[in-house]
Structure 1
Amino acid sequence: MIHSYASSDDAAVAIAGARAGADVIRNMYGQRLSRIDKGAGDFATAADVEAEEAILGVIRAARPGDAVLGEESGQQGAANAVRQWLVDPLCGTLNYAVGNMLVAVNVALRDGAAAVADPFSGEVFFTDRETAWVRHDGVDDALLRPTPSTRLVDVNLDPPFPSAPGFRAVDLLACPEFVERFRPRVVSTTLALAWVAAGKRAAYVTDGGDLSGSVHFAAGIALCRAAGCVVTGIDGVPIDEAGRGLVVAADEETHGLLMSMMHSLPDD
């Protein structure tokens, strides 16, 4: 089934922006790229900057009155604007810089449409906030259908660890019940959220503060919610109600099992 979107459709803007960024990321892959130091071991590359410029160009042309928060360029327009786009042009910069293709391009309208592009598979995962689909190489949209059948759970181990010692994701990997029930994977890109929505992963776990307004997580969270996943913080509280971190599961049973395991972890 192929969906056609009117020019006024925010989902079309999100898709076009994500694809524009993905084109840059794919075309610059393998080049020797300059790095921009952000401190604490974090950095951006020229690909991050150019991809964000391409995405912002799409948004400005289609929605000139909207505010934008970009990972690299910061806030443009009023931070409390009714309509604000959240842009992460390259989620997985360290992966990309060392030649690993596990990266994502995230474009989301706060509390609205969103798209996550995989520059190397040709997939664009997107939502109009009500339903979620995946588009392969520009055609053949398919509904996203989460399922726990893979038993694969991605755990993000990137610092900082604000909930330690009460919760440390690395402790979950050593939990006997966890490794008996699930197959852990460690990934450092929010592409993993799209995989949960698409049924490629059973769940995803990461620590952190309120991630609902994060440029890194907003698009993936929107996808998962629209696809029918269970989305909470690590304490089981909805992430837009002061929840910490993020637990996204394909279904209630998987979410319940993860929460039980996390609550049973030793508190050093």
Structure 2
Amino acid sequence: MPSANMNVMIKAARKAGRSLVKDFREVENLQVSVKGAGDFVSRADREAEKIIKEELRGARPNYGWIGEETGEEPGEDPTRRWIVDPLDGTTNFLHGLPHWAVSIALEHKSEIVAAVIFDAAKDELYTAEKGGGAWMNGQRLRVSGRRQMIESIFATGVPFGGRNTLPATLKDLARLMPLTAGVRRFGAASLDLAYVAAGRYDGYWERGIHSWDVAAGILLVKEAGGFVEAIRGEGPVVDAGNIVCANPQLFPELATQIRSWD
């Protein structure tokens, strides 16, 4: 049975998802402002975060909060905080590409203990709680069983605009692509991680990411039997700003390749 917190998270994700789907159908009419080169934020994005914040903080007013649009707010309970990306894949959304998601995680004492990723366009709801496994629409998820890099597909994020992680990512691609069956760049980190948990991808890595991009997906991968670490840096992987994950058979080689020149 889902916990009370999980039920709150699912309700918030579905409510925000319904709002986003409605706006997605009218994407050409959205009021769009520019946050930075290639990084857009829309009215839909802000409205989704407002919905989630009202649901989560209404149910758990003493928990802390960090959201992509509204930033960080401490809670009376310093050990717990919500980590939220109301619309991961905003650029996909604004271009009419149906690959974006709502991502909600609950952190307790620097560890992610509950996660929801809702792909509203495809009606796929990914959930996980610590020790309870990873699930999608009621079906148990497991990472893939592939053992050879050359048979495996990996996902990553390719920097846009003027981001300074582009040279490192190009080195990653030059090293990895000859060793694999392919690398995909779909533009939504939360779904990259969910797809690793579901065995659709065999692994994923990315540099220059935020906690709200990966918090929920980290727990999904772990609960589906995968390995997740920071590429570099100490402390919780959710705050590292970089990530590498894969099934247990492929993780050592993938991580070694990514770290070999880092």
TM range (shorter): 0.7 to 0.9
Structure 2 Cα separation of the partners of residues 104 and 145 of structure 1: 20
Q: Which runs of 5+ in 1 are unaligned?
A: none
Q: Which moves more between the two structures, 20-29 or 58-67? A: 58-67
Structure 2 Cα separation of the partners of residues 28 and 69 of structure 1: 24
- Equivalent in the alignment of 2:57: 60
Deviation at 1:68?
1.6
Identity of counterpart residues, as a percentage? 30
Match of 1:218 among 206, 210, 215: 215
Structure 2 Cα separation of the partners of residues 241 and 34 of structure 1: 31
1:78-137 deviation per Cα after TM superposition (whole angstroms, max 9, x unaligned): 49822210110000101110001111110011132110010111111111122333343x
Mark the CA change 1:242 to 1:221 in structure 2 (over 3 Å): closer, same or farther. Answer: closer
- Equivalent in the alignment of 2:156: 155
Q: Give the letter for the 2:192 counterpart.
A: A
- Equivalent in the alignment of 2:231: 234
Deviation at 1:237?
6.5
Q: Which runs of 5+ in 2 are unaligned?
A: none
Structure 1 Cα separation of the partners of residues 73 and 104 of structure 2: 15
1:13-35 deviation per Cα after TM superposition (whole angstroms, max 9, x unaligned): 22222212211111111311111
More helix per residue: 1 or 2? 2
Structure 2 Cα separation of the partners of residues 5 and 224 of structure 1: 18
Match of 1:145 among 132, 142, 147: 142
Is contact 2:63–2:77 with CA below 8 Å preserved after alignment? no
Structure 2 Cα separation of the partners of residues 29 and 106 of structure 1: 17
Structure 2 Cα separation of the partners of residues 114 and 242 of structure 1: 16
Is contact 2:145–2:247 with CA below 8 Å preserved after alignment? yes
1:20-39 map, 5 Å: 20-31=15-26, 32-39=29-36
Secondary structure in structure 1 of the residue aligned to 2:78: coil
- Equivalent in the alignment of 1:183: 182
- Equivalent in the alignment of 1:126: 127
- Equivalent in the alignment of 1:49: 46
Secondary structure in structure 2 of the residue aligned to 1:234: coil
Deviation at 1:220?
0.9
Is contact 1:15–1:114 with CA below 8 Å preserved after alignment? no
Match of 1:101 among 98, 103, 107: 98
Mark the CA change 1:44 to 1:257 in structure 2 (over 3 Å): closer, same or farther. Answer: same
2:117 maps to 1:116: yes
RMSD: 2.6
TM-score w.r.t. length of structure 2: 0.84
Q: Give the letter for the 1:26 counterpart.
A: V
Is contact 1:134–1:143 with CA below 8 Å preserved after alignment? yes
Is contact 2:134–2:197 with CA below 8 Å preserved after alignment? no
More strand per residue: 1 or 2? 2
Number of equivalences: 249
- Equivalent in the alignment of 2:196: 196
Structure 2 Cα separation of the partners of residues 156 and 122 of structure 1: 23
Mark the CA change 1:215 to 1:79 in structure 2 (over 3 Å): closer, same or farther. Answer: farther
Q: Give the letter for the 1:86 counterpart.
A: I
Q: Which moves more between the two structures, 55-64 or 194-203? A: 55-64
